[in-house]
């Protein structure tokens, strides 16, 4: 029974990790292009928006990495895997908290400018 679980789980982990890598890489390229546009146009008002959007990509990538690590812990019981899972969960939680705070501040700022 355990061999069957390992046979299915290992490629699943690789697929989820590859997807997480793609998300982070794509988000990074998109952020680099956007930063260059902001720098060339000298439109610093959009810089914050670029970083918030990049943060969303990072949170998405970390979410998939977290999913991969959760699946991996189902077949591995070593403490290193559990520690990595905990570290990713903590990092993702902090990133998510600060990203949501930035988004809320941005919305409040737009509402106050519009009123």
Cα(36)–Cα(113) distance, integer angstroms: 27
The secondary structure of residue 46, as a DSSP letter, is G
Arithmetic mean of pLDDT over the chain: 85
pLDDT, residue 66, reads 84
Domain extent listing, the chain: 2-114
Render pLDDT for 46-91 as a digit per residue (tens, 0 to 9).
887 888 888 889 888 888 988 888 888 878 777 887 888 788 888 8
> Can you tell me the mean pLDDT for 5-18?
91
What is the pTM assigned to this prediction?
A: 0.75
CB neighbour list of residue 82: distance below 8 Å, 6 or more residues apart: 73
């Amino acid at each position: 029974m355990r061999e069957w679980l390992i046979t299915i789980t290992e490629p699943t982990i690789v697929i989820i990790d590859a997807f997480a890598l793609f998300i982070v890489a794509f988000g990074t390229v998109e952020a680099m292009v956007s930063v260059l546009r902001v720098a060339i146009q000298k439109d610093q008002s959009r810089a914050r928006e670029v970083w918030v959007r990049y943060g969303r990509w990072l949170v998405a990538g970390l979410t998939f990495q977290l999913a991969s690590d959760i699946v991996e812990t189902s077949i591995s019981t070593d403490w290193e895997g559990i520690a990595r899972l905990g570290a990713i969960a903590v990092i993702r939680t902090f990133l998510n908290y600060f990203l949501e705070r930035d988004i809320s501040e941005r919305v409040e700022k737009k509402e106050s400018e519009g009123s």
